Amino acid sequence: MKLQHNFDEVIDRRHTQCKKWDTYGEDVIPMWIADTDFKCPEPIVKAIQKRAEHAVYGYPCIDKSYEKAVCGWQQRRFHWMIEAEWVEYTPAVVPAIVYAMKAFTHPGDQVLVQVPAYHPFPQVIPHNGRHLVANPLQEQPDGSWAVDWADFEEKAADTRTTMFLLCSPHNPTGKCFTREELLRMAEICEKHHVFVVSDEIHSDIVYQGNVHIPFSSVSDWAANHCVVCVNPSKTFNIAGFRTGAAIIPNRNNHDLFYNEMANLKAFGRNIFGMLAVQTAYNECEYYADQLLDYLQANLQYTHTFLESRIPQIKLGPVQATYLLWLDCRALGMDHLSLMNFFLQQAKVAMNDGYTFGQGGDGFMRLNIACPRAQLQEALLRMERAVRSLAK
Ligand SMILES: Cc1ncc(COP(=O)(O)O)c(C=O)c1O
């Protein structure tokens, strides 16, 4: 019998050393950082409980179970036929990006990033002695986002640019790149010898009418000049286990990447994290399907609510991710006032768009991966606060 998950269940996460819920006051609904408020799938809970009861937590051996679980998921969900030898465990996605940057670029090089960008990107690039070069995504009249190809090529052609750090699907705009777009990026990067790191952590959350395409699968060149980073953490709410995987089809690239981790002795695996990922990928496809349906309904609810009740806040078409990029520019506030307004007047915590770099000013990022009742309450609070401005 197929398992059913109850995404309406409200879980009290306060006082659990939870970043989302224990950062702001108890009167604030947190709709910010990218984890969900859902319980993780029951098979993961059971697997962890069983392993915990063993009561011996020594060093694990590497028997390729983890790698095979990653392969199975990529093959079944994205039709990307990968091999266990291409997969490398990483202690999360952001560290994997840093290892790749160290392995495939030199200090002083430029890393191309489409902006606005997931906020750690503009942090880890300069912190590791590289420079971020921005390719602003272009806002379309309907609120969707498009690549500025002329600018992309101009930046890629700069000989100082040696890496393109892609976020696919894109956080924070919710854009799901098409095969044609990915292929065009690959062709430009090939022409200008730019290595690609593709952060595909949000690939499971892609809404009807859109398809996630792993970057490495678009061409032979892409397969040989790319690291794809994944983590089931966003989908199954297991970010606290600190897991991830880098998928690197080219053996030489794989060795270069692995050496960076090995030099830092950063390759040790967490026994619970390994188990959580393996169980997620091997046994919890039902959960990913049901989650997507639930999020699709939350998305529809939010669209309808904003259009009919808070038209000052605009939301374009969302193709992927549970992170909505709300255009609040019509409220006419600078970013600090906007953040404070939602936090203090509405009592809703969102991410300040300004922290996502160029193009983020006036936007707020809303996380809708929560029980519908919580989403409804957050939107009602936002409506009340915005209405109070008119008085
Ligand atoms: C695009 C993107 N990459 C990476 C991460 C963080 O992943 P990890 O915790 O595996 O480093 C997030 C989390 O929000 C994200 O949105």
Euclidean distance between CA atoms 169 and 325, whole angstroms: 13
Euclidean distance between CA atoms 87 and 285, whole angstroms: 20
Q: Using the mean position of ligand 1's atoms as its centre, give its distance from the Cα of residue 118 in Å.
A: 8
Q: Using the mean position of ligand 1's atoms as its centre, give its distance from the Cα of residue 344 in Å.
A: 27
Q: Using the mean position of ligand 1's atoms as its centre, give its distance from the Cα of residue 265 in Å.
A: 22
Closest residue by Cα to atom 9, ligand 1, is 92
Task: Say if domain 50-283 classifies as CATH 3.40.640.10.
Answer: yes
Q: Tell me what pLDDT residue 2 has.
A: 81
351 in contact with ligand 1, CB cutoff 6 A: no
> 19-40+285-390 and 50-283 share one CATH topology?
no
Query: For residue 33, which atom of ligand 1 is closest to its CA?
Result: 14
- Please tell me the class of the 19-40+285-390 domain: alpha beta
Query: For residue 244, which atom of ligand 1 is closest to its CA?
Result: 10
Half-sphere exposure of 320 (CA within 13 A, CB side): 24
Show me where the domains of the chain are located: 19-40+285-390, 50-283
Q: Tell me what pLDDT residue 305 has.
A: 98
Mean pLDDT of each 10-residue bin along the chain, 391 residues long = 92 96 96 97 98 97 96 98 97 97 98 97 97 98 97 98 98 98 98 98 98 98 98 98 97 97 89 98 98 98 98 98 98 95 98 94 98 98 95 70
Q: Tell me what pLDDT residue 390 has.
A: 78
3-class DSSP assignment, residue 280: helix
Q: Note every long-range contact of 307-313, with CB atoms under 8 Å and residues 24 or more positions apart, other chains counting.
A: 309/379, 309/383, 310/379, 310/382, 310/383, 310/386, 312/386, 313/382, 313/386
